[in-house]
Amino acid sequence: MSALLTFTDDGIYCPEGDFYIDPWRPVDRALITHGHADHARDGMRRYLATDLAAPVMRHRLGEISLETLRYGERREIGGVTVSFHPAGHVPGSAQIRVERGGEVWVASGDYKLEDDGLSTPFEPVPCHAFITESTFGLPVFKWRPQAEIAEAMNAWWRGNAAEGRASIIGVYALGKAQRLMRMLDPSIGPILTHGAIENTNAVLRAQGIALPPTLRVTPDLVARDHPGAMVLATPSALGTHWPRRFGPAQTALASGWMGLRGVRRRRAADRGFIISDHADWAALNTAIAATGAERVFVTHGYTSIFSRWLSEQGYDAAIVQTAYEGESLDDPDPATGEEAEKAQGTQSPAAAP
Amino acid sequence: MKRFAALFTRLDQTTRTNLKVAALADYFREAADADRVWTIALLSGRRPKRTVTTTLLRRWAAEQAGIPLWLFEESYPIVGDLAETIALILPPPEAVSDAPLTHWISQIGALASLPEEERRARVLDAWSRLEPTERFVFNKLITGGFRMGVSQKLMTRALSQATGIEESDLAHRLMGDWRPGETSFEALILAPDPSADLSKPYPFYLAYQLDGTPDALGAPGAWFAERKWDGIRGQLVLRGGACFVWSRGEELITDRFPEFAPLADALPAGTVIDGEILAWKEEAPMAFAALQKRLGRKTVPAKLLADAPAILYAYDLLEEGGTDIRALPFAERRARLERLVGNAVRDTDLPLRLSPEVPFADWDALATERARARALAAEGVMLKRRDSPYRDGRRKGDWWKWKVDPLSIDAVLIYAQQGHGRRANLFTDFTFGVWSGNQLVPFTKAYSGLTDAEFRKITAWVRKNTLERYGPVRHVTPHHVFEIGFEGIQKSPRHKSGVALRFPRMLRWRHDKPLQEANSLADLEAILAAYGGKTT
């Protein structure tokens, strides 16, 4: 009998159920962990995702054949049972559990353990084999609690506002941007948003996710009408003329990569806030231990280092080549503001101009 | 160390010069006296010596973090900085410390004489009481690699803002052979007369590179030209019967050039000359490599002194009869220099010569002179406005260097290594080869010359085209051809290719050039034969 999940050139494949998980080439049936562009690609004949991820996927991929499941709801496909469980990464993100006759595999997509107040919090799913990312799979990555980052971010905003400067933060349009909005203290000033972010806001608000009031930046917006504003932009917009319209401003990037001084300095933003929707070193180890899995497959990130570490901890660990990107500081796709430009290799927070 | 770490964070969090200066000025107004002196010392390159090897620090940090050493070693090149890797990887501190910067620096200094176990205990104790940024600073200090991304010039400006003392005055006070543990803020900065230090040099005036031709500089008659010699810039200070030699890096190098000592008797006291130190034989400069042998050592054996005797090629006179004459026009200073050197150097045994003027009628004539530079072992020509004062630092307008176009060769990228610091996570350090039959013979490294975008592009390519890894070095598929520029070439038995280049860098990425059309070792040897110069 073949393995429950196999790794092919098209994506993670389940022979028994004849479906793929987060495939990167067009296939007949795709189960999708979450709406980020390196996991939910177009061209699949049928999609299956959580009901919470569906609106963003429809927004990004247009007219697609999409069925949905609620978290925990089971579905028989071929000879296997599948279900989706919260991954805590972005709204609607899921770990996909696949079971056949008592054997359980879990493909976790991207995940984090901290409750960000926006996404349904991560739940450990006991399994025999666990497929994990390792975007920040090095012991130098340690996140501080979200409340601490919120305090630093608001203090920075408040200081800039007091000096008559705008505050501009570069963030992912789906997930990170909305997480930050809910961390911001709206009493400091107005929150303005880049179009790519505001489009995603509209989708999330329509599905009932509460976000603070925001104002879309349009060509006719006059910056001086909004003194001391917080501006949320895509990371790529920071590198263009786009921020100039706000006059005197301080810039920041919000990413796990900001934990590395070299990356922070190369990006030449004034500030770097260390905040990620991916698990840090401790959380990766905690999550893997909580599954009780014996076998661990490491997909994207510091795969060779992290799998060696896991092997030394007694896991049966292996590296799997995929097309997933983790968290990248590369140029997002201008059409959606979400897709990171293809990272070369998987180990680098490559930088934009 | 909290205040100092906070300063570091403020400096690190902005890319704007005026904010950096403001942060430093605040610090100089508020910090404790000894800490201020140490901060000035650190920012003027007076770093404490390394007292613990990095091997030991890595081992202790890994042990303390509860991770295997290999995992530490894998993390280090990704972070790109050892001090930062240690700071990030350690568990959170167990306590806090209010001890000032000076305390930790003296702790670090005291480690040198202690046995390993005791050093370990003290370092671990420090780590357990310092916050991550303080730890980072501590680690930088202990490894002897402390830098803050602030030039001495900016620090001087901040100090000026904090004290109201003029920048040029401060720059002068900060030169010389002072030690942070042995002076006070009052004595170093505030006291009215720092004349006790006879050796004190003047800040060097540095020229900008002229882009294009000098046509835009106006009438040629307003300009003085001389060769740009390929040695090291030096300042000869003769006061109170003693001789002091300073390098441009403000390092006192008197001991390395004992042959200059007789100048203290031959020239009047109260003389300061700016010039080029050159290795010199048969009334002509030797190639830079000859001088280089002398720079590496604190004391000079007699044989080396005979093989590569040094002279000062005089450019300018800064002090005459004990008076600072930097404000006089260049033409006047030059006339006085000619008189002074001319009187002294009837005796050709003295290691002092006047850098000759290069007369020219018009800019075309100067261009012709510039083109001859390499044959004369010079790097190009210098242009100095005849009516200009001697300024300090690198300033545009009055002095220009007009270097000859570099030598160049098309070479193949064969090894790549990641950079450090700001260039961490990018492949920026490359080794290039030229053809010898079907083999590529490595002949130089180069680190600079590409744009950030090009470095990102080549980084992505290296990741996908690695043939083998040797530690941090990757052997890549021979494919890309780069034009390598360099200023000079020397025979070198230490290198596989038999040559060593001076100032190699990437001039262009030759996307247009097929691999097989890169240059050969024979081409390189032809350049060596033409421009190799004499080293013995």
Q: What is the pLDDT of residues B374-392, one digit of tens each?
A: 888 888 999 999 999 999 8
Half-sphere exposure of B188 (CA within 13 A, CB side): 23
What values do phi and psi take at A236, rounded to 5?
A: -70, -35
Report the pLDDT averaged over residues B490-509. 87
* Average pLDDT over every residue of A165-187: 95
- B393 DSSP β-pair partners: B205
**With 60 as the cut, is the pLDDT of residue A333 above it?**
no
- Nearest C-alpha of chain A: how many angstroms from B470? 16
- Residue B241, exposed/middle/buried by CB under 10 A (0-12, 13-18, 19+)? exposed
Token pair 């200009």 is found at B388
Whether B85 and A140 lie within 8 Å, measured CB to CB: yes
pLDDT bracket for residue B31 (50, 70, 90): very high
Could you tell me which residues come within 8 angstroms of residue A243 by beta carbon, excluding any fewer than 6 positions away? Answer: A168, A231, A233, A237, A249, A251
| Cβ neighbours for B512, distance < 8 A, ≥ 6 positions apart | none
pLDDT value at residue A30? 97
pLDDT score at A343: 28
Residue B145 pLDDT grade (very low, low, confident, very high; cuts 50, 70, 90): confident
* Residue A68: per-residue pLDDT: 97
Residue whose C-alpha is closest to residue A287's, from A117, A141, A113, A97 = A113
What pLDDT does residue B47 have? 80
Q: How far apart are the CA of A314 and the nearest CA of chain B, in angstroms? A: 14
Q: Which domains does chain A have, with CATH numbers?
A: 6-141+277-351 (3.60.15.10), 146-273 (3.40.50.10710)
What pLDDT sits at residue A159?
95
Confidence at A322, pLDDT banded by 50, 70, 90: confident
Ordered domains of chain B (ranges, CATH): 2-142 (1.10.3260.10), 205-403 (3.30.470.30), 407-531 (2.40.50.140)
**β partners of residue B508:** B483
Q: What average pLDDT score do residues A40-67 get? A: 95
Q: Distance from A115 to chain B by nearest Cα, in Å?
A: 22
pLDDT at B534: 54
CB contact (8 A) between residue A262 and residue B80:
yes
Is A235 a residue whose pLDDT tops 80? yes
Task: Compare all CA atoms of chain B with the CA of A267 and give the residue at the minimum distance.
Answer: B422
Size of interface A-B (CB pairs under 8 A): 86
CB contact under 8 A, B75 and A138: yes
Confidence class for position B117, pLDDT limits 50, 70, 90 = very high
Residue A352: pLDDT above 70?
A: no
B190 CB-contact burial (10 Å; exposed 0-12 / middle 13-18 / buried 19+): exposed
H-run or E-run covering B3: helix B2-12
Residue B101 has pLDDT above 50, yes or no: yes
Can you give the pLDDT at residue B105?
Answer: 92
Best A236, A303, A344, A346 member to test B by mutation, with max B CBs in 10 Å, is A344
Inter-chain CB proximity B88 and A262 less than 8 Å? no
Work out the mean pLDDT of chain B and round it to a whole number.
88
Asked if B453 is an interface residue toward chain A (Cβ–Cβ < 8 A), one would say yes
Range with lowest mean pLDDT among A93-102, B61-70, B505-514: B505-514
Q: What is the pLDDT of residue A338?
A: 33
pLDDT, residue B453, reads 85
Backbone angles phi, psi at B427, to 5 degrees: -80, 115
Name the least confident of A326-335, B14-23, B107-116, B177-186. Answer: A326-335
Q: What is the pLDDT of residues B418-456, one digit of tens each?
A: 877 667 678 899 999 999 999 999 999 999 999 888 998
- Is 0.80 surpassed by the pTM of this model? no
Reported confidence tier of residue A344, pLDDT bands at 50, 70, 90: very low
State residue A346's pLDDT score.
Answer: 29
Whether B277 shows a pLDDT value over 90: the answer reads yes
ipTM: 0.89
Rounded to whole angstroms, how far apart are CA atoms B66 and A230? 41
What is the per-residue pLDDT for B242?
Answer: 86
3-state secondary structure of B486: strand
| A163-180: average pLDDT | 94
Which of B10-14, B329-333, B531-535 is most confident?
A: B329-333
Q: Nearest residue of A to residue B90 by CA position?
A: A140
Q: Cα(A202)–Cα(A197) distance, rounded to whole angstroms?
A: 9
Instruction: With CB atoms and an 8 Å threshold, state whether A266 touches B85.
Output: no
State how far the Cα of B460 lies from the Cα of B427, in Å rounded to an integer: 9
The predicted structure's pLDDT at residue B27 = 96
- Segment B13-28 shows an average pLDDT of 89
User: Using one digit for the tens of pLDDT, what is the confidence trace for A184-207?
Assistant: 999 999 999 999 999 999 999 999
CB contact under 8 A, B452 and A345: no
Q: Note the pLDDT of residue B366.
A: 94
CA A66 to chain centre: 21
CA B50, B52, B55, B57 torsion: positive or negative?
Answer: negative
Asked if the C-beta of B300 comes within 8 angstroms of chain A's C-beta atoms, the answer is: no
pLDDT at A328: 67
Which one has a higher pLDDT value, A309 or B180? A309
Asked whether the predicted pLDDT for residue B70 surpasses 50, the reply is: yes
pLDDT confidence of residue B421 = 64
pLDDT of amino acid A342: 28
Residue B240: predicted pLDDT? 87
Average pLDDT over chain A, rounded to an integer: 89
Q: Go through B386-421 and write b for each residue having 16 or more CB atoms within 10 A of its CB, e for each that does not.
A: eebebbbeeeeebbbebbbebbebbbbbbbbbbbbe
Q: In a 3-state reduction of DSSP, which class is residue B414? A: strand
| B78 has pLDDT over 90 | no
Interfacial B residues in 424-443 facing A (CB < 8 Å): 424-426
Question: What pLDDT is recorded for position B17?
Answer: 87
Q: Would you state the pLDDT for residue B321?
A: 94
Which chain B residue has the Cα nearest residue A156?
B13
pLDDT value for B426: 82
Q: What is the pLDDT of residues B293-319, one digit of tens each?
A: 887 666 788 888 888 999 999 999 999
Checking if the pLDDT of A350 tops 60, the result is no
Report pLDDT for B193. 55
Q: Which of A345, A347, A353 lies nearest to residue B452, judging by beta carbons? A: A353
pLDDT for A321 equals 78
Tell me chain B's radius of gyration from C-alpha atoms: 26
pLDDT at A345: 29
Q: What stretches of A43-79 adopt beta strand conformation (E)?
A: 46-50, 66-69, 74-77
Give A145's contacts in chain B (Cβ within 8 Å). none
> Closest by alpha carbon to A118, among A27, A180, A28, A198?
A180
B360-378 pLDDT, tens digit each: 999 999 999 998 888 888 8
Residue B186: predicted pLDDT: 87
Which whole-number Å values give the CA distances from A191 to A119, A147, A157, A187, A237, in the listed order? 21, 19, 11, 10, 16
Tell me which chain A residues have a C-beta less than 8 angstroms from the C-beta of B89: 139-140
pLDDT-derived band at B12 (thresholds 50, 70, 90) equals confident
Does pLDDT of A100 surpass 50?
Answer: yes
φ, ψ for residue A270, nearest 5 deg: -70, -35
